[in-house]
């Protein structure tokens, strides 16, 4: 299946110079969404893991389904002040700003092997912050799983250079 035809490209969003890859068009197509989940599930079954972590917000869509299918706990990596309990935080840079990501302190431990899931990898800021926060909890990052890699942006290469395994279903230019 050619998944690229299900991704809408929106120029100058959320700011001028950004070419936004909108996955809502894929999610609205039951066959395309089902295909993506089947592909991601097949990949995840080959990766040793005890938990699946979802990067807010679009990573939740894929990670929740994978956690259910794999019968593994789902860990939420959320924007600052979105989790009600005690948290661990990590600052990071985005393609178009900065942010802070958090996880509940009791969500991960030293025995956990984690697949981190998001819809897209661009500059790598959010993904690297997610890895750092998992490692702050003494857990191990087993791999990253993305729907889209914006291959002309440095994110995936940054992860690979730091020894992380990455998997993606679609390659798109970021510009």
Active-site annotation, residues: 58, 95
Query: What's CA 167's distance to the chain center, in Å?
Result: 10
Using only C-alpha atoms, what is the Rg of the chain?
15
User: In Å, what is the CA distance from 12 to each residue of 7, 61, 145, 149?
Assistant: 16, 24, 26, 19
Tokens of 146: 């993305």
Write the CB contacts of 77 (distance below 8 Å, at least 6 apart in sequence).
53, 54, 55, 56, 59, 101, 102, 103, 116, 130, 133
Query: What is the distance between the alpha carbons of residues 94 and 89, in angstroms, rounded to a whole number?
Result: 16
Main-chain dihedrals φ then ψ at residue 90, nearest 5 degrees: -145, 125
Tokens 């690297």 correspond to what residue? 128
Gap between the Cα atoms of 20 and 14, Å rounded:
7
């Amino acid at each position: 299946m050619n998944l690229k035809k299900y991704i809408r490209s929106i120029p100058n969003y959320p700011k001028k110079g950004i070419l936004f890859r909108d996955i809502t068009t894929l999610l609205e197509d039951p066959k395309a969404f089902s295909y993506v989940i089947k592909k991601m599930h097949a990949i995840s079954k080959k990766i040793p893991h005890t938990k699946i972590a979802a990067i807010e917000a679009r990573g939740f869509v894929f990670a929740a389904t994978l956690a259910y299918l794999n019968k593994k706990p789902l860990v939420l990596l959320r924007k600052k002040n979105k989790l009600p309990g005690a948290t661990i935080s990590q600052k990071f840079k985005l393609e178009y700003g900065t942010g802070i990501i958090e996880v509940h302190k009791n969500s991960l431990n030293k025995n956990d092997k984690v697949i981190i899931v998001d819809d897209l990898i661009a500059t790598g800021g959010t993904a690297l912050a997610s890895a750092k926060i998992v490692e702050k909890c003494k857990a191990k990052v087993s791999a990253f799983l993305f729907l889209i890699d914006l291959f002309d942006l440095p994110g995936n290469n940054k992860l690979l250079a730091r020894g992380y395994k990455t998997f993606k279903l679609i390659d798109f230019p970021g510009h």
